[in-house]
Structure 1
Amino acid sequence: MGILRLKYHLDPYLERVSLQNENRPAQGLPNVQSVVIDGPSLVYHIHHRLLSWSHPELRYPDVQPTCDEVSHGVMTFLLNLAFLGVKIEKICFDGALPPSKQTTRLARLEKSRRRLGSFRTSQLGCSLASSMSAKVRFESFENILQSRSLPPNFTLVPENPFIVPTVYEDLRQRWTKEKILQTVPVPSWMSMVADRLEFVSWADITIMVPGEADCYCAYVAKQTGCSILTSDSDLLLYDIGSSGSIVFLNSINCERTESESRTTAQRLCPMTVAKQLGLSTLLPLAFELNLRPRAGLNELIRRSKVIDKANDPASDFSHFTREYLISPNIRIDQVEQQYPQSLDTRVSEVVSQYILRETYLHKRSLNMYLVMLNEDPKRQCAWMQGRLFRAMGYSFFNLTQAPHKRHDFIIEHIRRGDRITADLITLKNRPWVRSEMQSLLNQLDVVRLKTGMEIDCPLYWRTFALYTILGTQTGIQNLKPAQLEQFLTCGYMDNMLNWEDVHTSAQMQSVLYSLRILKQLIEISETPDKETTQICAFLAHLPSLHVLTRSTHEMRAEYAMSISAKNVIERSVLFLWNNSNDEAEDIEEPQMMSDNTQSQRFEDRGATHRQRMPIKRKRRENSYNIFEILSQQ
Structure 2
Amino acid sequence: MGIRNLTKNIQPLGQHYALQDETVVIDGPALAFHILHLCRINCAAEPSDRLIAQSTLKWLNELAHERVTIEAIYFDGHVPPFKRTVRMERLMLNYAELSRLFSGNPEGCPRKQVARDDRRRLADYFSNDAPDFMPVLDPSFFVSAVIDALRQSPRYKNLTSIVPDEADAYCAAHVSARGGLVLTSDSDLLVYELNEGKVAFFRDVSRDSDSQITCSLFSPTQICERLGLPASEGLLRLAYEQKRAPHSTLPELVCACSRPIANEFDYRSFSKQYQLLPEHSLSRALHDGSLTALDTRVSELVVQLSSCPPTQRSSNDDALIMYLPVLMENPQRGTAWEQTTPLRQLAYSLLCSTVSPPGTSVSEYRRIQDVSQRGRRVETIPPAEAEALIDETLNVMECMKEIARSYQVSYWHLICMAVEANDCRKRDKQSLTWHVFQQQHQPSMVDGSRINWDTVHFSAHLQAALFSFRLLFQLLSVVRQGPNGSALPSNARQLWSELLQLPPLARFPDIGDAMRLLLLPKKDALIRDLSKSPHFATTSAPDPEGWKGVKKRAAGRIKNTCPTPSANKSSNSMKSNMFGLLSNE
Partner of 1:533: 493
Retained in 2: the 8 A contact 1:36–1:91?
Answer: yes
Task: State the AA in 1 paired with 2:383.
Answer: R
Partners of 1:401 and 1:484 lie apart in 2 by 49
For residues 501-516 of structure 1, what are the structure 2 equivalents within 5 Å? 501-516=455-470
Residues 370 and 271 from structure 1, CA distance in 2 versus in 1: closer, same or farther, beyond 3 angstroms? same
Give 1:20 deviation, angstroms: 1.2
Retained in 2: the 8 A contact 1:4–1:293?
Answer: yes
Partners of 1:156 and 1:317 lie apart in 2 by 39
Partner of 1:409: 361
Retained in 1: the 8 A contact 2:77–2:165?
Answer: yes
Partner of 2:346: 392
Residues 449 and 123 from structure 1, CA distance in 2 versus in 1: closer, same or farther, beyond 3 angstroms? closer
Task: State the AA in 2 paired with 1:65.
Answer: P
Q: Does 1:69 align with 2:51?
A: yes
Partner of 2:569: none
Partner of 1:437: 390
Partners of 1:436 and 1:91 lie apart in 2 by 38
Task: State the AA in 2 paired with 1:352.
Answer: V
Q: Does 1:264 align with 2:223?
A: no
Partners of 1:458 and 1:237 lie apart in 2 by 53
For residues 182-201 of structure 1, what are the structure 2 equivalents within 5 Å? 201=155
Residues 458 and 225 from structure 1, CA distance in 2 versus in 1: closer, same or farther, beyond 3 angstroms? farther
> What is the root-mean-square deviation in Å for CA atoms of aligned residues?
3.7
The equivalent position to 2:80 in structure 1, one of 88, 98, 102, is: 98
Cα offsets for 1:451-486 (capped at 9, x unmatched): 2279xx982111211233344252768657563686
Retained in 2: the 8 A contact 1:519–1:539?
Answer: yes
- What TM-score do you get using the length of structure 2 for normalisation? 0.81
Partner of 2:575: none
Residues 119 and 273 from structure 1, CA distance in 2 versus in 1: closer, same or farther, beyond 3 angstroms? farther
Partners of 1:90 and 1:332 lie apart in 2 by 11
Q: Does 1:45 align with 2:34?
A: yes
Partner SS, residue 275 of structure 1: helix
Partners of 1:307 and 1:142 lie apart in 2 by 53
Task: State the AA in 2 paired with 1:372.
Answer: V
Partner SS, residue 500 of structure 1: helix
Retained in 1: the 8 A contact 2:16–2:215?
Answer: yes
Partner of 2:149: 170
For residues 25-44 of structure 1, what are the structure 2 equivalents within 5 Å? 33-44=22-33
The equivalent position to 1:522 in structure 2, one of 449, 454, 476, is: 476
Partners of 1:504 and 1:410 lie apart in 2 by 26
Residues 458 and 423 from structure 1, CA distance in 2 versus in 1: closer, same or farther, beyond 3 angstroms? farther
Residues 468 and 496 from structure 1, CA distance in 2 versus in 1: closer, same or farther, beyond 3 angstroms? farther
Residues 111 and 330 from structure 1, CA distance in 2 versus in 1: closer, same or farther, beyond 3 angstroms? farther
Q: Does 1:6 align with 2:6?
A: yes
Q: Percent identity?
A: 27
The equivalent position to 2:305 in structure 1, one of 331, 354, 367, is: 354
Retained in 2: the 8 A contact 1:227–1:247?
Answer: yes
Give 1:444 deviation, angstroms: 0.8
Retained in 1: the 8 A contact 2:391–2:557?
Answer: no
Give 1:537 deviation, angstroms: 0.9
Q: Which is worse superposed, 414-423 or 275-284?
A: 414-423
Give 1:341 deviation, angstroms: 2.3
Partner of 1:315: 265
Partner SS, residue 337 of structure 2: helix
Give 1:233 deviation, angstroms: 0.8
Q: Does 1:275 align with 2:197?
A: no
Partner of 1:566: 521
Task: State the AA in 2 paired with 1:415.
Answer: R
Residues 159 and 296 from structure 1, CA distance in 2 versus in 1: closer, same or farther, beyond 3 angstroms? same
Partner SS, residue 434 of structure 1: helix
Residues 470 and 138 from structure 1, CA distance in 2 versus in 1: closer, same or farther, beyond 3 angstroms? same
Give 1:522 deviation, angstroms: 0.5
Partner SS, residue 207 of structure 1: strand
Partners of 1:86 and 1:446 lie apart in 2 by 52
For residues 18-417 of structure 1, what are the structure 2 equivalents within 5 Å? 18-21=18-21, 33-54=22-43, 63-121=45-103, 126-128=109-111, 140-151=121-132, 154-173=133-152, 175-176=153-154, 201-241=155-195, 243-255=196-208, 261-280=211-230, 281-307=234-260, 314-328=264-278, 330-335=280-285, 336-337=287-288, 339-357=290-308, 364-403=318-357, 408-415=360-367
Give 1:18 deviation, angstroms: 0.9
Give 1:525 deviation, angstroms: 0.2
Residues 572 and 212 from structure 1, CA distance in 2 versus in 1: closer, same or farther, beyond 3 angstroms? farther
Partners of 1:248 and 1:370 lie apart in 2 by 28
Residues 338 and 38 from structure 1, CA distance in 2 versus in 1: closer, same or farther, beyond 3 angstroms? closer
Partners of 1:10 and 1:2 lie apart in 2 by 13
Partners of 2:362 and 2:453 lie apart in 1 by 31
Q: Which is worse superposed, 413-422 or 265-274?
A: 413-422
Partner SS, residue 145 of structure 1: coil
Retained in 2: the 8 A contact 1:34–1:89?
Answer: yes
Partner of 1:603: none
Give 1:574 deviation, angstroms: 4.9
Q: Does 1:552 align with 2:511?
A: yes
Partner of 2:375: 422
Retained in 2: the 8 A contact 1:458–1:547?
Answer: no
Partners of 2:319 and 2:306 lie apart in 1 by 14
Retained in 2: the 8 A contact 1:40–1:93?
Answer: yes
Give 1:357 deviation, angstroms: 2.6
Retained in 1: the 8 A contact 2:436–2:458?
Answer: no
Give 1:611 deviation, angstroms: 7.5
Give 1:511 deviation, angstroms: 1.0
Residues 402 and 321 from structure 1, CA distance in 2 versus in 1: closer, same or farther, beyond 3 angstroms? same
Partners of 1:435 and 1:331 lie apart in 2 by 41
Where does structure 2 lack aligned partners over 5 or more consecutive residues?
540-546, 560-585
Partner SS, residue 89 of structure 1: strand
Give 1:507 deviation, angstroms: 1.7
Residues 418 and 341 from structure 1, CA distance in 2 versus in 1: closer, same or farther, beyond 3 angstroms? closer
Retained in 1: the 8 A contact 2:15–2:217?
Answer: yes
Matched residues, number: 529
Partners of 1:113 and 1:279 lie apart in 2 by 43
Retained in 1: the 8 A contact 2:160–2:292?
Answer: no
Partners of 1:92 and 1:520 lie apart in 2 by 20
Cα offsets for 1:381-435 (capped at 9, x unmatched): 22213111001100110001154xx652111112167886411111121111111
Partners of 1:144 and 1:451 lie apart in 2 by 40
Partner of 2:15: 15
Partners of 1:409 and 1:140 lie apart in 2 by 44
Partners of 2:168 and 2:392 lie apart in 1 by 42
Cα offsets for 1:565-620 (capped at 9, x unmatched): 415x36743541230598889xxxxxx9969xxxxxxxxxxxx845899999xxxx
Give 1:172 deviation, angstroms: 0.5
Residues 127 and 414 from structure 1, CA distance in 2 versus in 1: closer, same or farther, beyond 3 angstroms? closer
Partners of 1:95 and 1:458 lie apart in 2 by 35
Partners of 1:350 and 1:334 lie apart in 2 by 19
Residues 396 and 615 from structure 1, CA distance in 2 versus in 1: closer, same or farther, beyond 3 angstroms? closer
Partners of 2:555 and 2:284 lie apart in 1 by 46
Task: State the AA in 2 paired with 1:16.
Answer: H
Give 1:115 deviation, angstroms: 2.5
Partner SS, residue 367 of structure 2: strand
Q: Which is worse superposed, 360-369 or 345-354?
A: 360-369
Q: Does 1:449 align with 2:405?
A: no
Partner of 1:461: 412
Partners of 1:16 and 1:479 lie apart in 2 by 56
